[in-house]
Amino acid sequence: MTNQEKIELMRQKEREIEAGGGEKAIAKIHASGRLMARERLNLLFDEGTFEEMDKFVEHRCYNFGMDKVKTPGEGVVTGYGKVNGRTVFAYAQDFSVIGGSLGEMHATKIVKCQDKALQAGCPIVGLNDSGGARIQEASHALRAYGRLFYRNVKSSGVIPQICAIMGPSAGGAVYSPALMDFVYMVKQDYAQMFITGPLVVKSVTGEEVSSQELGGAITHNRKSGNSHFMADNDEDCIMQIKKLLEYLPSNHKERPPVIECEDPADRMDDGLNTLVPESSNRPYDMKKLIKMVVDNGEIYESQSLFAQNIITCFARMKGYPVGIIANQPRHLAGALDIDASDKASRFIRLCDCFNIPLLTFVDVPGYLPGTGQEFGGIIRHGAKMLYAYPEASVPKITIAVRKAYGGAYIGMCSGEGGPDMIFAWPSSEIAVMGAEGAANIIFRKEEGAERKKKIDQYTDEFATPYDSAKYGFVEQIIEPRETRPKIIRALDMLKNKVDERPWKKHGNIPL
C-alpha cells in the first residue's frame, strides 16, 4: 500500500467515525429538534479552530454480543479549540451511537479531556446527551463515572466547568453536572435530568409524573435549583455558554477578561433618586436598579427562576466583570430563606474562586420566619452566607439601599470581615429590626399617640444610616444617583487588594 493509499484509508476511517450511528439514527435525532455532537461543537468553537482528540478510540467489551457492535468514536467527541479567541476544552456525547451510553473507553476520552484542560489551565464544557451507563460493561461503567467525578472535584475552583443537558441524563450521569460550576438545560422534551425516572418513581412510591415534570428544564430551573440557566434550543444554549465564558477567566490564577466600555464611568442616573418608594413596605424591582448602575444596563442572571427573593448575576463595571448579589423586594419582600441562602452562597464562592469582585445590594427585612424554615434548617443554611462572604478574598462592596435589618444585614455582607466598602443610601434603614418590630418589644406598654411618637423617634435615631456612619460602620452615605461612579472608583482602588489568611487545608462550611 502506497503512502497516498494509507492517507486515503485514514480519511475513509475518519468519515466513518464522523458518520456516527448512521443516517437513520442521525435523521431521528434531527427530527427531535436537536443537533448532533459535532454540530454542537462547531457552534461552540471559533470556525476552523477545533482539534479533535482520540477519534479512533474503540471499546473493548465482549459481553452480551458487544464484540460485534461498532461504536464510532466511542459515542463521544472530545477536543479543544478557541471560543471567542481563548482556548477551551469540550466533550459532546453522541446519542446516535448506542444512545451515547457511557462505558470504560467513552469515559477514558472524557477523563483525558478533563486532565488536559486542568493541565493547560483552560475551561471545560461538557455537552451531555446520554442514555446513561453502558449496562453491558457492568462494573467498568460504574468505575468510569467515578473517574469523571474525581476530575470534577480536582478541577473545582481551578478551571471553570460548564455542563449543558442537551438530551437525557439519568442515574449516575447527573452527578458530574452537579459537581460542575454551571448547568444549562435545553427547554425541550428531549432534555431531562433525574436520578430515577418516572417508571421507577411510580413503582416505588406510587406517584405518577411525566419525564418533563420530574426532570425537565422548568423543574430544575424553578423548583430544584439544579440548573442555573435555561435555553430555548441547542443553538441558544451554545450561544449562552459562549456569553458566560466572556465573564470568566481561564483559570483561578487569572483575572476575568476586561472589555472596552463606552458607558461613561462617571455616569449618574437621576432616576435612582426616585426609584425606591418612600414607604418601606412598598415593593420595587431591584433588577431595574442594578441595570441602571452597571455597564450598558446588561446583566446575565444565574438561577433567575429559582429563589427569586435574591438575585445573582454577572455584569460589568467599566468593562470589568463583577458578580452581583441583591435582595429582590418583589418576592418575599427580599427576605432570606433556605433556598436564597444556598443560591447566594454558591454564587459568592464561585466568584471568589475566579477573582470576580462582589457587589451586594441590600434591602433585607430579615430571615423568613416559620416552622417550615426552622425545621428545614434555616440556621444552618443561613449561616452559609455568613461563612461565604468573609471567606471570599476578592474586592467586596456593599450598598445598603433600604431595609438592612438584624442578622440578615450581616448575612448580606455588612459585618466584620465582610465588605471592603459599605455605601449607604439616605433611604437605608440599618437597625436590629424594623420600627414596628422594635416597638412591640421596647414600647409594648405605650399606646396611641405616645407609641407612635416613640416609633418615629426610633426610626429617626436608629433606623437610619447615620447611626452606623457615626461609628464608622458605613464608609459613605451617598446620593443614589452617584452609585455607579462610587462603585467604579472603589473597584479601581481595590484592584490590587491583598487579603492574607492563615494557612489551612480548607474550612468547614456549614453544608
* Active site residues per annotation: 171-172, 407-408
On whether the CB atoms of residues 310 and 340 are closer than 8 A, the answer is yes
Q: Quick one: cell of 376? A: 428545614
Distance CA 415, CA 417 (A): 6
Element (H, E) at 380: helix 378-391
* Residue 369 DSSP SS3: coil
Please list the residues that pair with 102 across neighbouring strands.
133
* Residue 399 DSSP SS3: strand
Question: Which of the 8 DSSP states describes residue 234?
Answer: H
For 246-335, strand residue ranges (E) read 300-302, 310-317, 320-327
Element (H, E) at 128: strand 124-128
Distance CA 175, CA 184 (A): 14
According to DSSP H, which parts of 248-377 are helical? 272-275, 286-293, 338-353, 371-376
On whether the CB atoms of residues 243 and 369 are closer than 8 A, the answer is no
Element (H, E) at 106: helix 104-120
Which single residue is written with the C-alpha cell 423568613?
368
Distance CA 445, CA 233 (A): 62
Distance CA 201, CA 186 (A): 23
